[in-house]
Amino acid sequence: MGSEADRVMAVAFPDNQVQVLPYNRVVKDLNGNTGDTFLKALEARFTIHKSRSQTPIEKGQIAIYLSGEWYMLDAKTGSDALDVDVLESGILAPILGITDVRTDKRIDFVGGIRGTQELERLVNSGAFAVAFSLHPVSVRDLMRIADAGGIMPPKSTWFEPKLRDGLLSHLI
């Protein structure tokens, strides 16, 4: 039968009963940039404008909270790239100097269930300089990547419903 380490708990939900929320990001500093120079660096790569919306309306957009203002970044690439990949390769690494989101202490992740109010609170508190609100990954994109044998970027999806934890069954 094998050891307990050979087993993994799994669950299956129909795709129409799973809600995928975004896993948003907050960054502690602007890597030596001011708010204005950060926005200029973004404008060199993307279309960006002030926005009343705190969440992206569609795939290919990233909402940014900086200095008490929301901005919408149009990151449409014409490809199947995930918005989180665009954020990492187009903003975090080249502008903010975050090359490994798994180990860099300057970045933190905010589960989508906590909402954009939490992003605003973290930036307004002074603990973080900028927040990124992402459009949720679609189940279709998730399945496309899985079917291709790919791996999702770290902290790219927040699933609801969550499984209850703390309850274990063990045969004695």
How is domain 26-160 classified at the CATH fold level? 3.30.1760
Reply yes or no on whether the pLDDT at 144 is more than 80.
yes
Q: Is the pTM of this model over 0.85?
A: no
Token reading at 57: 């309306």
Rg (CA), the chain: 18
Distance (Å, rounded) from C-alpha 141 to C-alpha 18? 14
The model's pLDDT over 48-95, given as tens digits with 9 standing for 90+, comes to 999 999 999 998 999 999 999 999 999 766 677 889 999 999 999 999
Domain ranges of the chain: 26-160
What is the phi/psi pair of residue 159, to 5°?
-95, 140
